[in-house]
Amino acid sequence: MDETRLSTRNPDLAGLRVLVVGAGKSGLAAARLAHGRGARVTLCDSAPAERIADAVRRAGEFGIEVRTGGHPPALARDADLVIVSPGVPTNVPLLAAARQRGLPVWGEIELSVRFCRGRIVGITGSNGKSTVTTMTGAILRGAGIPGATGGNLDRPLGDLLGLDGPQAWHALELSSFQLETVETLHAEVAVVLNLSPDHLDRHGSLEAYGQAKARLLELQRPDSDAVLSADDPESARFHSAVRGRLHLFSTRRETEAGGFVRAGRLMLRTEQGQDTLLGVSQLPVPGEHNVANALAAALACRLAGCDPEAICRGLLMFRALPHRLELVAEVAGVRFFDDSKATNPASTICALRSFPAGSIHLILGGRDKGADWSQLVATLRNRVRQVLLVGEAAPALERLLAGAAPLRTSGTVPRATAEAFAEARAGDVVLLAPGCASFDQYRNFAERGDDFARVARALAGPGETRG
Parallel, antiparallel, or unpaired: how do β-strands 334-338 and 169-173 relate? Answer: unpaired
Indicate whether 7 belongs to any domain.
Answer: no
pLDDT of residue 246: 98
Asked if 29 contacts 159 with a C-beta cutoff of 8 angstroms, the reply is: yes
DSSP state of 230: S
Indicate if 335 and 302 belong to the same structural domain: no
Indicate if 388 and 431 belong to the same structural domain: yes
Nearest-angstrom CA–CA distance, 260 and 248: 8
Indicate whether 432 belongs to any domain.
Answer: yes
Indicate whether 121 belongs to any domain.
Answer: yes
Indicate whether 9 belongs to any domain.
Answer: no
92 Cα distance to chain centroid: 24
| Backbone dihedral region for residue 202 (phi beyond 0: left; psi -120 to 50: alpha; all else: beta) | alpha
3-state helix, strand, coil in the chain (%, to 5): 35, 20, 40
Angle CA 128–217–144, to nearest 5: 60
Indicate if 127 and 152 belong to the same structural domain: yes
Asked if 391 contacts 440 with a C-beta cutoff of 8 angstroms, the reply is: yes
Indicate if 298 and 342 belong to the same structural domain: no
Indicate if 189 and 302 belong to the same structural domain: yes
pLDDT of residue 154: 80
Which amino acid makes up residue 357? A
422 Cα distance to chain centroid: 33
Q: Give the number of other Cβ atoms within 10 Å of residue 416's Cβ.
A: 30
Indicate if 366 and 229 belong to the same structural domain: no
194 Cα distance to chain centroid: 12
Indicate if 250 and 362 belong to the same structural domain: no
Number of domains in the chain: 3
What is the set of active-site residues?
Answer: 129, 152, 199
Domain termination residue (choose one: 297, 317, 337): 317
Domain containing residue 285: CATH number? 3.40.1190.10
Indicate if 175 and 59 belong to the same structural domain: no
Indicate if 273 and 186 belong to the same structural domain: yes
Q: pTM (2 decimals)?
A: 0.83
Nearest-angstrom CA–CA distance, 28 and 26: 5
Domain containing residue 102: CATH number? 3.40.50.720
Nearest-angstrom CA–CA distance, 352 and 358: 10
Indicate whether 25 belongs to any domain.
Answer: yes
Summarised one tens digit per residue, pLDDT across range 153-205 is 889 999 999 999 999 999 999 999 999 999 999 999 999 999 998 887 888 89
Q: What is the extent of the structural domain holding 206?
A: 116-317
Question: Nearest to residue 118, comparing CAs of 178, 49, 187, 176?
Answer: 187
DSSP state of 265: E
Which string of b and e fits 168-184 if b means at least 16 CB within 10 Å? Answer: bbbbbbbbbbbbbbbee
Asked if 99 contacts 279 with a C-beta cutoff of 8 angstroms, the reply is: no
Nearest-angstrom CA–CA distance, 428 and 331: 10
Question: Nearest to residue 432, comparing CAs of 333, 335, 337?
Answer: 337
For 386, counting Cβ atoms within 10 Å of its Cβ (0-12 exposed, 13-18 middle, 19+ buried), the class is middle
Q: At what angle do helices 129-142 and 308-317 cross, to 10 degrees?
A: 120
Which segments of the chain have a pLDDT < 70?
1-2, 461-467
- The DSSP secondary structure of 64-124, one letter per residue, reads -EEE-S---GGGGGG-SEEEE-TTS-TTSHHHHHHHHTT--EEEHHHHHHTT--SEEEEEE
pLDDT of residue 7: 81
Nearest-angstrom CA–CA distance, 121 and 150: 11
Indicate whether 467 belongs to any domain.
Answer: no
